Structures are given as structure tokens and as C-alpha cells.
Structure 1
């Protein structure tokens, strides 16, 4: 699918926003604060749908303002959402901008460790420039 020259808003709810980026990846920006389960699952479901829609395999996940994942969120992401996004949506590379909150960072580390058996790579970054440069150099496609 052709890449648009501008970023476009794909989905938004109380959890955050999903952007379609001109570089051929999806960007999820988490909002601060607690998350409601239905809204949390909705935004991640839409993230997978955006990847599948474009046949993209890459996402930038901006967790800088994010609150820590709850145990229930972590369980759902690890056991249901991420395996499904890899298998059905072609998600292969995730560049995460690390959260300011140390507990949110720890929760993300748990997700990375739990998902090591999947055909998926997460890398964490302090700067957006480093994250987007990494996404630009990883291969497109599934």
C-alpha cells in the first residue's frame, strides 16, 4: 500500500491516539492516568487493525506519559493481544518510547520478557529520533 505523505489520525479514545505515519508504521500515543478495560482493549484492537489495513509490520508505542499496566492488562496483552497481533495482523517490530514512570517501565519489561517466543521484536528508546531511525532501518513486510 502506498505511504501517505502526511500522518493521519486513525483512532482515538480515552486511552490514547493511533496515528498512521508517513514512514510506513503505526504510532500509539498513550495518555496519562488509569485505563478502563474496554477502552484499553479497544485501542490495542484498533492498533492491530491499522497494521493489517496497510500490511505494515511496525509500530511506535509512545509510553512516556503512560501509567503502569495492571496485572490484568499485562496478562491480556501477553496471552491474547500480542500473539494475535503477530499471527493475524503481521506485527513484527515495536519501538517503545519508555515511560517516565518507573513502574510502567517495569511492566513493559515484563511484557517483553513474556513475549520472547513470538516472531516479534520490541526495542525501547529514550528519544523519538532514535526510535523512528530504528523503525526506518528494519525491513518492511511480514
Structure 2
């Protein structure tokens, strides 16, 4: 029997969501500026995919990502992440850090702003290490 392969769940101009056969969701940000409606759509679909599968873990590939805008960051901190955690079961995010230093800083601010949620982000330079960590925290 051939090994299971990931399948594309959703894609727009901002990024892609992949269903990984190991039981987690992969979010890949595309490079460049983002349109807010498309950004919200991508993350809304991510939360729905977590619920659909009963998954708690996501690999977030920010390597090509531009920094979050203040509006994006406020929405993620105040609305999306609390809802993803409390309503969709999101618990662990393995983040492949952005090459852009300002995008890294924006992610650090997001983590700091949501530290009271029952959710853990860990950052990684190496994808294999990120995937291994997700495998070790399966819910």
C-alpha cells in the first residue's frame, strides 16, 4: 500500500491549508502583501479544518510570510485565536519562523498577546524538528 499523502484543503492568494496524513493541519503563507478578507478566509478555513478532523495541532509555515499588519494582528489576537482554541480545539502550533525579521517580531507579539490561552506555540528553523514536536504532543 502506498504511503498516505497530504491533501489540499483550501487555497487562496494568502496561502494554502494542507491536511497532513500524520493528523495535523499545515498552513503555508505565501509571500507578499495580504488582503484582509483573504487573510481572514484562510484562517477561518484553518479553524474549520481543525474541527472537521478533531485535530489540535497545526504546522504554520511562515518562512515566506510578510509581517502581520496591526489590523491582522488585532484580529488574530482578539478574535481568531481565542475562537480557534475555545471552539475548534486548537492547542499546539509549530511555527517555521519567517525569514523576515519584522514578521518574526510580529509573531512574538502575537504569542505574548495570547499567553493566557490554553495553547502553545513553539518556533522552529527546521521542519523535521517541528513535525517531530507535533507528533510528540498529539491530543
TM range (shorter): over 0.9
- Say yes or no: does 1:91 pair with 2:129: no
**Equivalent pair of 2:57/2:138 in contact (CA under 8 Å):** no
Gaps of 5+ in 1: none
- Say yes or no: does 1:45 pair with 2:44: yes
| Greater than 3 Å deviation, 4+ residue runs | none
**Equivalent pair of 2:27/2:61 in contact (CA under 8 Å):** yes
Q: Which residue of 1 aligns with 2:69?
A: 70
Q: Which residue of 2 aligns with 1:79?
A: 78
Deviation at 1:31, TM superposition (A): 0.2
Deviation at 1:5, TM superposition (A): 2.1
Deviation at 1:127, TM superposition (A): 0.6
Output the CA distance in 2 between the equivalents of 1:25 and 1:139.
Answer: 9
Output the CA distance in 2 between the equivalents of 1:12 and 1:85.
Answer: 19
- The number of residues matched between the two structures is 137
- Say yes or no: does 1:21 pair with 2:14: no
Q: Deviations over 1:40-68 (max 9, x none)?
A: 00000000000000000000000000000
Give the TM-score normalised by the residue count of structure 1.
0.95
Q: Which residue of 2 aligns with 1:131?
A: 130
Output the CA distance in 2 between the equivalents of 1:59 and 1:139.
Answer: 11
- Say yes or no: does 1:36 pair with 2:35: yes
Deviation at 1:6, TM superposition (A): 1.6
Q: Which residue of 2 aligns with 1:104?
A: 103
Output the CA distance in 2 between the equivalents of 1:8 and 1:35.
Answer: 24
SS at match of 2:123: strand
Give the TM-score normalised by the residue count of structure 2.
0.97
